[in-house]
């Protein structure tokens, strides 16, 4: 018996792939056959969405880099002392977006 997936789930898988997750990782993580994922990539991939909805991997990496730089400046800023416990704030720059 074949499993039914919602459109939202399919689009989420496609978005994960388009932001750097390999199909093999998605197969392991979500238990979806790789042929099924490739079919979804054809149906719901970038070609099926408007330009405004697509963010390239490079743009996403740039945004993450800018966010990290902002957080570093925030951590070093004297203006936030007493307002935010930035000393115990952690962020990690890891994952598929930073492994390219």
Q: What tens digit of pLDDT does each residue of 37-93 get?
A: 999 998 888 755 544 455 677 788 888 889 888 888 877 776 655 555 555 655 555
Is 2 a member of any domain?
A: no
- Map residue 3 onto helix, strand or coil: coil
How many distinct structural domains can be found in the chain?
2
Q: Are residues 13 and 47 in the same domain?
A: yes
CA atoms within 13 A on the CB side of 15: 11
Is 93 a member of any domain?
A: yes
Ranges assigned E (strand) in 20-84? none
Query: Is 49 in contact with 25 (CB distance < 8 Å)?
Result: no
- Residue 51 has a pLDDT of 46
- Residue 52 has a pLDDT of 46
Residue 45: give the domain boundaries: 7-52
Q: What is the enclosing helix (H) or strand (E) of 16?
A: helix 7-18
Is 1 a member of any domain?
A: no
What is the distance between the alpha carbons of residues 41 and 48, in angstroms, rounded to a whole number? 9
pTM, 2 dp: 0.46
Greater model confidence, 6 or 74: 6
- Residue 40: Cβ within 10 Å count: 21
- Which of these, 59, 76, 69, 67, lies nearest to 19 by C-alpha position? 59
Q: Are residues 18 and 37 in the same domain?
A: yes
């Amino acid at each position: 018996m074949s499993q039914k997936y919602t459109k939202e789930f399919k689009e989420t898988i496609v978005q994960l792939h388009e932001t750097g997750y390999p199909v093999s990782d998605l197969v392991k993580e979500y238990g979806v056959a790789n042929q099924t994922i490739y079919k979804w990539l054809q149906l719901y991939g970038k070609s099926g969405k408007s330009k405004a909805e697509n963010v390239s991997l490079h743009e996403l990496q740039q945004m993450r880099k800018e966010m990290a730089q902002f957080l570093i400046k925030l951590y070093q800023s004297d203006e936030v002392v007493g307002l935010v416990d930035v000393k115990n704030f952690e962020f990690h720059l890891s994952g598929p977006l930073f492994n390219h």
